[in-house]
Every structure is written in C-alpha cells, then in structure tokens.
Structure 1
C-alpha cells in the first residue's frame, strides 16, 4: 500500500509539471474517480466478509459463490460507468465545479478515459480482495506494487512523450493508470487461479444467486456509501474552496494525494485485519479477535503520528514536489499543518472501525462516516469560509475527526456489549 500511495503522489507530481490548470482539472475529477472505486471497493468488502466468514464456518460452496458473484457484480459496475461516460457524464460532472475552459478540458479528458476503461480498476480491486479474504496478502502486495511501479514508469513516458510515444498530457496520465491497473488485475487473476486453493473456480460460481448478492451487499452497500461519502465531501469542498480561488482547490487536491502516503497503509492494514476478525468471529475465538484488534489500533496510530510529524515539519518541501507557485505555497503550508493535526485521531477511528465491518455491523461505520464527512466537516467548512479567510476553513478537519472519534468509541462500547 505504501507503493500504491507513492504512485498516487507521483501521478500528480507529473501532471503538476504541465500546469496548475491540469492539476486542478485532475483534482475536480477525483470525486467521480473515488466513487468508481467506492463501488468496487465496497463490493469487495462485502465479498471479503462473506467469503472469510464462510471459510471460518467451513461452508465452502458459499465461499466460492461469494467469489464468483462478486467478480460478476464488479464487472457489471464497470460497464455501467463506461456507458455513463459515453453519454457525457464526465464533461457534465466537471462542468458543475468550474467555468474555466482550460480546467474543464483537462478534467473532462482525464475523467472520460478512466470511466470508459474502469474495468481494469474494478478487476484489480475485486481479485485482490479474494486474495486478502483467504489470508494471501503477500500476493496482493505483489500485484499492487507491480501496478503502481508500471504506472510510475509509464506516467512520464505517456504524459511528456518519451521514447517515441506521443505527448498526451493529462490523457497520458489516465492511460498510464489504466495500464498499471490492468496488468495488476491480470496478475491477481493468475495468483487466484494458481495460488489460492480456498476458492474453486468453475463456471457455476459466476451464476448470480439472490441470496449471495444480498449477503455481499448487506455488508457492501454501507461500505460503498462510506467511501462514496468521500466523493460527496471532496466535491463539496471543491465548491467551497473555489469561491476563494482555483489555487485553493489545487492545494486541496495536493493534500489528498500527500495524505494517501499515510492513509493508504492504514486502509491496507484495515483491509488485512477484517478477514482475520471475521474468520475468528465465525470460529468464536475471542482472544484472537482482541489480539488482532490491539495490533491494528497500535500500528495505525503510530503510522498516523508519523504523518503528522512530516506534515508539520516539511510542508514546503512536500508542496515543492508539485511545482507549487508562490500562491500555492502561501495557502498550502498553512493548510497542511492545520489538517495534519487530525491524523492520529483518524488512525484510531479507521482501525477500530474494522471490527464493525468484520462483525457485519457496517451501519455503525456508515453513521460515523456520515457524521464526520457530511454532517460535521462540510457544514463546519462552510461556516468557517464565511470568515473570508481560506486558512480558517482547514480547521474543519480536526473538528470533524474529534466528533468521529467520539462516535467510534460509543459504537465500540455498544458492540462490546452485544457480542
């Protein structure tokens, strides 16, 4: 996941070399791109929970059905995004966030490509979830690392036109992403077939079953909504910040890329601990559950504390990677230092929230996510923006995370009494 996070940063670093408008355009595309991941990732969480629990209960037919049906569902979602792009969804979406023709062109170009070819992302996420569900996280690490490395290599080649390739600008960044995801998905498929004996591939497991789909989405829909809430949040933040300047929007986009270097490993830890918790929940091994949860919380908190230290000490250096202008430096240094205050709290919330998904209590995670990102963060950001100072807006992040931690602890105590 560290390599995956590095690829997210490097991708934007290369785009930023084109222009601030290109960086802003890609930033405006992020909410839709994140929503596509939400559908695949949330469905994957549902697959993960059902498959692991079925294996723990030794119901192997149900485990196979979860794997096969999950693959079909994610492919159907990819085709839906492709159709939406052909109907002009990308341009319409970018157009709701900016009136600048250059930013609109760059954002539409990037988003159209990733929507049409989203099957690579869907396949990678789903197939990697199957490996995680059966405890084969080492192979997931290989596929993610390979996809990210290929993307990092192809980015400058396709953006700037090296080694005989035409210079494609932001389109090159999109194609490089698709190539990396598709190769990673192919390798994940090979690993599942050759290295994952817990899943028995046959044509019958791909036949959709109402009960299997229901069980996948019982856990998956709240997870989809939780991730999709992030899309709504970033979309609304873009709208709030655009009142100040497009540079403020670009700073927000840069922050989201930089924070992924610390958040992605924590989310990876979360994905890895969910099947462990779900398996031992099915096997009724409470001691193992407590041990896994303690490890996850401690490691997540440590990673996020490190993130806070980095953001506080060298914000200018981080922004310099993105060819930041004087205005971007002025806004960005303050933004990174204020927002980073909430990192340790976020680490605790993410790690503790893993048990909600593993125990099929995803509704708790949904309520927490809604509270943090929509009911607190956006209203707080809007109210703070009325002060007329963009630097004040960033305090909405620590405020929202404090509320999130309070909700997490409340639900955690409630769950402890129930199980």
Structure 2
C-alpha cells in the first residue's frame, strides 16, 4: 500500500503531522524562554551574555539544520520513488555529516569564542559569563548534531509522534536541570554554576533527545535501516549538500545579521541587546505554529512531488499559507495588548520595561509576514529548490534587514530600529511571492498529473 503522505486528505495529513511538531517546538521554545527567565534572575549582564551568544548558537544550528533539511528532501523523495537503496545511502551519509559537523564545532571553539565576545562588548562580566556559556555548549555539541538527523528520520517517515516524544523529553529535562545547575544543590554536592549551568542543562537535554531518537529509529522505524559508516556515499553526499548548503547558509546569514543587529543595538545600550534577545524568544513562541506547519509540509511536498501529484502539492502550500497568516495576525494582536505581562517574566528594570514594551509592539508586526516566508521556504525545499529558500533568506536578512536597521539607527531613535524589521519582512515577502510564481511555472506545471477536474476543463 502507498504511504499515507500520498493518499490521505491534505488538510488532515498536515494537521496530523504538524500538530506533534508544534507541541514539540512549543516545549523546545518554552525551555529557551525559561532559560532566559532563570538567567535574568542573575542580573542584566547575564541576560546580555546569553543574548550575545545567540549568533554563535545559530551558526552551530546551521550545521545541523543544513544536514537535516538535506536529508529530509533526499529521503522523502527516495521513499516516494520506492528506492530503498537510496534511503540507506541517505541515512549513512547524513550520520557521517553529523560527526564531521561536531569535529568542526569543537575545534573552532578554541579559536572564536573569546575574540567574538571581545568584539561585541568591553564589559568584562558579560565576556566572562558568555565565554563560559558558549565553551560548554560547543564542547558538548555532539548530542545536538546527531539529534538533528535522528529526529529528522522520524519526521521524514511520518512518525512525528515519536519526534514529539524525543524533543519534548529533552526539553523537559533541560527545564528540570536549569535551576539545579544554575543555582546549585549543596546537599547533593552540586555547585552553583550560574550562566554556565544553563549551558550544562541544555546539552544534557540534547544528548538525551538524541539517544532516545536513536532507540526509536532502531525499534520502530521499519522503513529505514540504521547504519553508520566513516565512508559516505559521495553522490548522496553531494545531493544532501545541494539542498542542505543553502539552508545552512540561510541559518548562517541569520547568525551574521544577529551579530550585526546586536552591535547596532549595543550602541544604544546593553539593555537594548538584552531586550532584543527576550523579544525574539517571545516571538518564536508564536512562530512555532508556522514553523511546525513548515516542517510538516516539507516531507508532504517532497513525497507528492516525487510521486507526481501536483494538486496535492498545491493544496498543501495553500492551506499552510492561510494558517500561518491567521496565526501571525492573532499573535500580533495579543502581544500588542499584553506587552507588560510578557516582560514581567524576566525581572525587568525600569529601563527594560520602557524599551521592551515598545519593542514587543513594533516587532510583533513581523509575525504574519514572517509566517508566510517560513512556509514558502519549506515549499521551495520540498520541491528541490532550496536555492530559492536561500534567495528569500538573503533578501530578508542581508540585502534588506541589516541595511535598513543600520540606516534607521543613524537617527538615534530606537523605536525606528524596531520598525525596520517589519519593513524588511514586508519587502522580502514580495520577493518570496515572485519566487513562488516562478517555481510554480517552472516546476509544478511540468508535472503531467491526470485528474477528472483537469479532464473536464
């Protein structure tokens, strides 16, 4: 019998696949939010240190997400084509890439961490705390590198309920261990590690998730064969990189832009940097729904594209866009009404409140715009046009966002800087629509799918 991704009604299938992803992402983003809440109790410098760490964390995620997205597209297409040998090669190669990525990360930390923080701020306390945090996360990054791939195997084969368990369990462990390692438990001989304790809790959670995902793939994922090798299949290696490198570059560009934005904001105050980190976490809590639907749509689009089912691909993207717009608009309205409540969770100073309320209201305008861009990016990846995802990201993050924010910062009016984010998202969405129309014409219209509806036109 054919896989459910080629037969089940699209809306039902998208909801079924995306809902567990959204729940998992909710828990994952929740522990990032709780991390910040715990760290904020250590003082504004600690919160600034974690916020300044974000670009390097994004750079690490670029390795994992590039590998995972490349695997997702190659594996789902191979399953749609009923090519078991290709499935084996994709898995073996992606596991090799996970190991290679970890080696790069653990080596580069010796070179980049201290110079990075010194280039961002002259505050010695922020440098000290940030260096301890990043060194820990990077040295123990093997868990998260394999987590990306092992969980993506569950997603690609439609076992999103197992993915939900792996990601959620790691997040819950992180939440539990945060106060243990940050504040210490003298009775058990556990010292208070401060900001570094948040990093220790994070890597514990990531490693547990990876281990559980490995077990689930061996035990329940009968559609694939788990086999590790130090010698990848080089043709599959190139195919994964062809899809994954644009995604990795996209994530890397986001990292570079975040560094640039932090440097712009720190010219106003370190408080502005801390607020930016907090608001991003709040916005990400809402964007988990577009991100979840985006993750769900990639294997559906890839499978049905491989199976030559054009109408199912069209229906999937249409439903996903409408869903993302509605979520974004609702989120924007809610955040505009309760910004003080959201900030209250982070022990804000009076200056943080003043800056933060305005920042939340202005940055929330990006939500419906960003949601559509996320879905379009997923669509491009699903049909093998990952370069379009890169073009869209380049437009949003490099060509538009950073220059617009920088120019508006010259006015020395911080609220104008926040407005720059929405201006960039709006202009980028126009580019995304143009790329979508081109992909529809050049790719989808070439699928010769016979349906009763087309017959009667």
**Common fold by TM > 0.5:** yes
Q: Give the equivalent residue in structure 1 for 2:405.
A: 381
- 1:20-73 per-residue CA deviation (whole Å, 9 max, x = no partner) reads 000000111110011101110111000000000011111111111111110110
- Indicate conservation of the 8 Å contact 2:96/2:228, yes or no: no
The range that moved more, 9-18 or 348-357, is 348-357
Answering whether residue 172 of structure 2 is matched by residue 170 of structure 1, we say no
Alpha-carbon distance change, 390 to 399 in structure 1, aligned in 2, over 3 angstroms:
same
- Indicate conservation of the 8 Å contact 1:2/1:261, yes or no: yes
- 1:372-391 per-residue CA deviation (whole Å, 9 max, x = no partner) reads 11111111111111111112
- Indicate conservation of the 8 Å contact 2:400/2:428, yes or no: no
- Indicate conservation of the 8 Å contact 1:147/1:181, yes or no: yes
Q: Where do 1:215-254 residues align within 5 Å?
A: 215-254=239-278
Secondary structure of the residue aligned to 2:427 is helix
- Cα deviation for residue 233 of structure 1 reads 1.1
Q: Give the equivalent residue in structure 2 for 1:416.
A: 440
Match of 1:400 among 419, 424, 437: 424
- Indicate conservation of the 8 Å contact 2:291/2:371, yes or no: no
Q: Give the equivalent residue in structure 1 for 2:354.
A: 330
Match of 2:148 among 118, 125, 128: 125
- Indicate conservation of the 8 Å contact 1:8/1:260, yes or no: no
Match of 2:312 among 288, 307, 311: 288
In the alignment, the residues of structure 2 paired with residue 83 and residue 316 of structure 1 have an alpha-carbon distance, to the nearest angstrom, of 42
Secondary structure of the residue aligned to 2:224 is coil
- Cα deviation for residue 203 of structure 1 reads 4.8
In the alignment, the residues of structure 2 paired with residue 80 and residue 379 of structure 1 have an alpha-carbon distance, to the nearest angstrom, of 31
In the alignment, the residues of structure 2 paired with residue 217 and residue 334 of structure 1 have an alpha-carbon distance, to the nearest angstrom, of 41
In the alignment, the residues of structure 1 paired with residue 43 and residue 97 of structure 2 have an alpha-carbon distance, to the nearest angstrom, of 38
When the two chains are superposed, the root-mean-square deviation of aligned CA atoms in Å is 1.2
Provide structure 1 residue ranges, at least 5 long, that are not aligned to the other structure: none
Q: Give the equivalent residue in structure 2 for 1:340.
A: 364
Radius of gyration: which is bigger? 2
- Indicate conservation of the 8 Å contact 2:261/2:402, yes or no: yes
Q: Give the equivalent residue in structure 2 for 1:267.
A: 291
Q: Give the equivalent residue in structure 1 for 2:161.
A: 138
Provide structure 2 residue ranges, at least 5 long, that are not aligned to the other structure: 1-24, 444-457
Match of 1:306 among 321, 330, 339: 330
Answering whether residue 189 of structure 2 is matched by residue 179 of structure 1, we say no
In the alignment, the residues of structure 1 paired with residue 327 and residue 28 of structure 2 have an alpha-carbon distance, to the nearest angstrom, of 16
Q: Give the equivalent residue in structure 1 for 2:177.
A: 154
Number of aligned residue pairs: give it.
Answer: 417
The two structures have a TM-score, normalised by structure 2, of: 0.89
- 1:234-280 per-residue CA deviation (whole Å, 9 max, x = no partner) reads 10000001111100111111111111111233222211210110000
